[in-house]
């Protein structure tokens, strides 16, 4: 406090470099991100509205949209359940190999999607380590919708674990002790004390995993089977439209995906502000 007050009195020379660094960063973003996005908007605007609607309303596009949203939602839900469980186990329990398990959680984030795609396909294929026994049970994974969900669970896993983990680690153990000493059982402590604290992080993790799963391409197309109307996701349909030079159809689907991405980004920002507001009083109390 004293140091910063003195500093303020002496009026230190301002740091230089704002115009330069801001100029460079803005120019770069403009070139690499903003102009290309504008290109998509312009391409979308050039297409007559009726044609845009038609491109989205045809059966194949509707099936792809339903599949992409449904599979991404389901996968993100599975990630919430197992990601929260993993975060809990990694933070609260001590067991051999914990550090290795912790490091492995980032694998889906680091592994190129095409590699993940062929690995999952080999694993769940008819002769794969998991595909063969599951097939014997009558459960087909590769080239089905179930395969798509499994690939999306794989790519989304780190998002939930890595958002929930730090919140669990920072949780004040005194809260739980107080609740327990007041007679609350473990289940009640979990639902009444822990759950509200981690809820924003879980929601953030869900949204991140959902956003990632919705746009995912590489890890899905190998295991999906890619049957039009059945196992064809939106990103693949965009690629197919482009390959047949149907730029209007590709742009229509691309615009929908971009709009959803922006909405999800907005939701994430709102979630972050919400959890920061909630965290601030607690932080202030701890600092005192």
Stretch that binds other proteins, among 52-60, 134-142, 169-177, 224-232 (CB under 8 A): 169-177
- Using the rule CB under 8 A, which residue among 56, 77, 113, 282 binds other proteins? 113
Query: Is residue 109 a contact point for other proteins (CB under 8 A)?
Result: yes
- Using the rule CB under 8 A, which residue among 61, 67, 76, 128 binds other proteins? 128
Query: Is residue 15 a contact point for other proteins (CB under 8 A)?
Result: yes
Query: Is residue 104 a contact point for other proteins (CB under 8 A)?
Result: yes
> CB within 8 A of 257, min separation 6: which ones?
214, 215, 234, 235, 238
> CB within 8 A of 23, min separation 6: which ones?
none
Token pair for 93: 């329990």
CB 281, min distance to other proteins, A: 14
Nearer to other proteins, 49 or 245 (CB): 245
> CB within 8 A of 120, min separation 6: which ones?
147, 150, 151, 154, 219, 222, 223
Please report, as residue ranges, which positions from 57 to 96 form the binding site for other proteins (by CB under 8 A).
82, 85-86, 88-90, 92-95
- Using the rule CB under 8 A, which residue among 149, 200, 204, 249 binds other proteins? 204
Query: Is residue 195 a contact point for other proteins (CB under 8 A)?
Result: no
Distance CA 125, CA 211 (A): 27
Stretch that binds other proteins, among 55-63, 140-148, 181-189, 224-232 (CB under 8 A): 181-189
Q: Where are the alpha helices (DSSP H) in 93-194?
A: 98-104, 107-110, 113-124, 131-136, 145-170, 173-181, 186-189
């Amino acid at each position: 406090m004293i140091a910063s007050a003195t500093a303020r009195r002496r009026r230190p020379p301002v740091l230089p470099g704002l115009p330069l660094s801001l100029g460079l960063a803005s120019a770069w973003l403009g070139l690499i991100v903003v102009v290309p996005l504008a290109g998509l908007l312009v391409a979308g605007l050039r297409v007559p509205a009726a044609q845009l609607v038609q491109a989205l309303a045809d059966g194949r596009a509707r099936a792809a949209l339903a599949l992409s949203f449904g599979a991404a939602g389901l996968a993100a839900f599975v990630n919430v359940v197992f990601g929260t469980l993993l975060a809990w186990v990694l933070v609260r329990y001590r067991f051999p190999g914990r550090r290795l398990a912790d490091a492995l959680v980032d694998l889906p984030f680091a592994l190129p999607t095409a590699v993940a795609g062929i690995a999952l396909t080999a694993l769940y294929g008819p002769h794969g380590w998991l595909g063969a026994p599951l097939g014997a049970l009558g459960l087909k994974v590769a080239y089905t919708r179930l395969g798509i969900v499994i690939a999306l669970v794989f790519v989304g896993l780190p998002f939930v674990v890595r958002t929930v983990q730090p919140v669990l680690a920072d949780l004040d153990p005194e809260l739980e002790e107080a609740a327990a000493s007041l007679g609350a059982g473990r289940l009640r402590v979990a639902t009444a004390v822990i759950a509200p604290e981690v809820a924003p992080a879980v929601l953030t993790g869900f949204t991140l995993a959902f956003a990632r799963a919705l746009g995912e391409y590489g890890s899905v197309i190998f295991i999906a089977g890619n049957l039009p109307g059945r196992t064809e996701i939106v990103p693949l349909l965009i690629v197919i439209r482009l390959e047949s030079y149907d730029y209007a159809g590709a742009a229509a689907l691309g615009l929908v995906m971009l709009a959803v991405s922006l909405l999800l980004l907005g939701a994430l920002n709102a979630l972050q502000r919400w959890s920061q507001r909630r965290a601030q009083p607690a932080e202030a109390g701890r600092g005192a």
